[in-house]
Amino acid sequence: MKRSERYNDAEESFRLAFQGEQSKMWASIPGIVDSVNLDTQTLSVQPSIQGIVLDENSNATNVNLPLCVDVPIVWPRAGGFSLTFPIKQGDEVLLVFASRCIDSWWQNGGVGSQAELRMHDLSDGFAMLAPTSQPKKLVNVSGENVQLRTDSGTSYIEITPDGKINILTNSEVNIDANNINISSESLSVNSTSCSVQSSTVDINASSTVSIIAATAATIQAPTINLIGNVATSGGGLSIDGADYEQHRHSGVRSGGANSGPVV
């Protein structure tokens, strides 16, 4: 159909006019992070979908859309808590464009007037840390549990539907706090090496404290106080290398004198 024939159709003319107006409105589009500014918490983002430019002969050419700059980052945030991510160049985001100019709000917050009367403009985008293309999709995503994880899935914090919390890493778990309180009906620690460094360590149990080691358990302190009955079983007891059950004393004599040191 010739263009002139479509112009003679009122419905088609309206449709073309609406399409022309729609082409100037921006709702959302995927983008790729070009740079990160954590001081202002904004990004420069290259839209991932190219635009189409027509020359004087109506020949179409695909061109990159302009870089979207000073795009506010949308962190998961509410009630005095925030979840942040180390955004890197090349990360994928979803650009969502406001229906009105956001300049005044971004500078001052609160409720205020519009700095300009633009609508659905490329200048008024927000960066949602959400979508990924197929080449960057996550692997081994759990279909049952909630996870805070690395993209590789080798480290994560996980909550299961029955309330269990799992932490997995092949690196380290560091806890730095003024006070750490653990309240549990049972506590099990399995480790090839365990070190506790503190000015004071208190272990209070309502029933029994058991220390089981395959080779040896060592307590080293200037003074060790044992309060209560002390019972040993399954082996001997030695003091400074002398067997408690089989040792002999020197300087033994009859009468009320004291014996000498242990032999």
Secondary structure (3-state) at 206: coil
d(C-alpha 142, C-alpha 58), whole Å: 50
Q: What are phi and psi of 151, to 5 degrees?
A: -60, -35
According to the model, what pLDDT value does residue 162 have?
95
CATH number of this structure's domain 26-132, picked from the four choices 3.20.10.10, 3.20.20.70, 2.40.50.230, 1.20.990.10: 2.40.50.230
Residue 96: name the closest of 135, 129, 51 by CA. Answer: 129
Q: Which two tokens stand for residue 181?
A: 């309180």
Residue 68: Cβ-neighbour burial (10 angstroms; 0-12, 13-18, 19+): buried
If one counts every other C-beta atom within 10 angstroms of the C-beta of residue 67, the result is 14
In tens digits, the chain (263 residues) has pLDDT values of: 555 555 567 777 667 666 666 666 778 999 999 999 999 999 999 999 888 888 888 788 999 999 999 999 999 999 999 999 999 999 999 999 998 999 899 888 889 888 888 888 888 999 999 888 999 899 999 999 999 999 999 999 999 999 999 999 999 999 888 888 888 887 788 877 777 777 777 787 777 888 887 788 888 888 888 888 888 777 777 777 777 666 666 767 776 666 766 66
If you search the block for the tokens 């189409």, which residue do you land on? 52
- Provide the pLDDT for residue 96: 95
Cα four-point dihedral sign 76, 81, 83, 88: positive
Residue-level pLDDT at 257? 67
For the chain, domain boundaries: 26-132, 138-177
Phi and psi torsions of 261, nearest 5°? -60, 165
Q: Which two tokens stand for residue 143?
A: 């279909």
